Amino acid sequence: MPNTLNLLALDFGASNGRGILGAFDGERVELSELYRFENQYIRLRGRYYWDIMHLYASAVSCFEAAARSGIQPSAFGIDTWGVDYGLLDKNGGLISQVRSYRDMSDDDMPPVWDTISKRVLFDHTGIAHLCFNTIYQLHRRKREGDAGLESAKTLLFLPDLLAFICTEAFCVMMRACARGSDGLAEVSEDDLLEIPVPELSNAQRSSLEPFVDRMLLGEQSIDDKISQLMASGSLEIPIPQKRPSHVVLV
């Protein structure tokens, strides 16, 4: 197709991955799978790691599959699990193997709460307390006196790390103001000024507190609450207007 924008998506799942081509002609996107590969974590000395070099080789295979089809990607993007990361030294070299989130346990959370309470942490991140969140991973390495953490110059989350290995250039992902599952993202005052926030009355705040408390205890989720509101007719979901294209930045 003439004037087609060929976009290559590299999807790295927890057990397998694939390269997907999105061919956009200005009106519609046609998807096709170019390459599929296995992704297995490695257990070594009681810890779980990702085989980052295998993931890099798999990414290269996706580009090679595109070339064999006579396609030159206009751009590519990488999607991986959201909490794992790699550490780089001052020269851009990878420090140690990349740990897997499957290496964590619930015992890794209370030591963080000794420094910052669960409620304060939730207020700053807005995410559930899950043992594999990046903040718990880093705190564990800090408690263990990890030499790699002490000598690290840069931390890159997996999409950024794989992009760096593939291109030798930093390309740090955009962060949503809702903050990610790492529990580390910061939002500047200027960012907040751009977000329309509804003003809540004291009565509305009081009505929300029981729900927030139940959510912090794991007794209720946002999905549950939305389902209840929809069932009661208290929540109306607007139907979006049709538009020629829809682009989402993540």
Per-residue pLDDT reduced to its tens digit, 37-46:
998 888 888 8
The answer on 160 and 65 residing in a single domain is no
Residue 146 lies in a domain: yes
Q: Which of 84-88, 140-144, 167-171, 209-213 has the lowest mean pLDDT?
A: 167-171
Q: Quick one: pLDDT band at residue 248, thresholds 50, 70, 90?
A: very low
Q: What was the pLDDT predicted at 11? A: 93
The verdict on 150 and 179 lying in the same domain is: yes
CATH no. for residue 106? 3.30.420.40
Residues 102 and 51 in one domain: no
Judged against a pLDDT cut of 60, whether residue 3 lies above it is answered with: yes
Does the predicted model carry a pTM greater than 0.85?
no
Shared-domain flag, residues 74 and 86: no
Which region among 26-30, 198-202, 204-208, 211-215 has the lowest average model confidence (pLDDT)?
198-202
- Domain enclosing residue 213, as ranges: 206-233
Residues 221, 131 share a domain: no
CATH number of 72's domain: 3.10.20
Tally of structural domains, the chain: 3
- What pLDDT sits at residue 82? 78
DSSP 4-70: -EEEEEEEE-SSEEEEEEEEE-SS-EEEEEEEEEE--EEEETTEEEE-HHHHHHHHHHHHHHHHHTT
Q: Are residues 53 and 125 in the same domain?
A: no
User: Does one domain contain both 72 and 33?
Assistant: yes
- Of 30-34, 133-137, 216-220, minimum mean pLDDT range: 216-220
State which of 57, 79, 101 marks the end of a domain: 79
Residue percentage of the chain with pLDDT more than 90: 21
Q: What is the pLDDT of residue 7?
A: 92
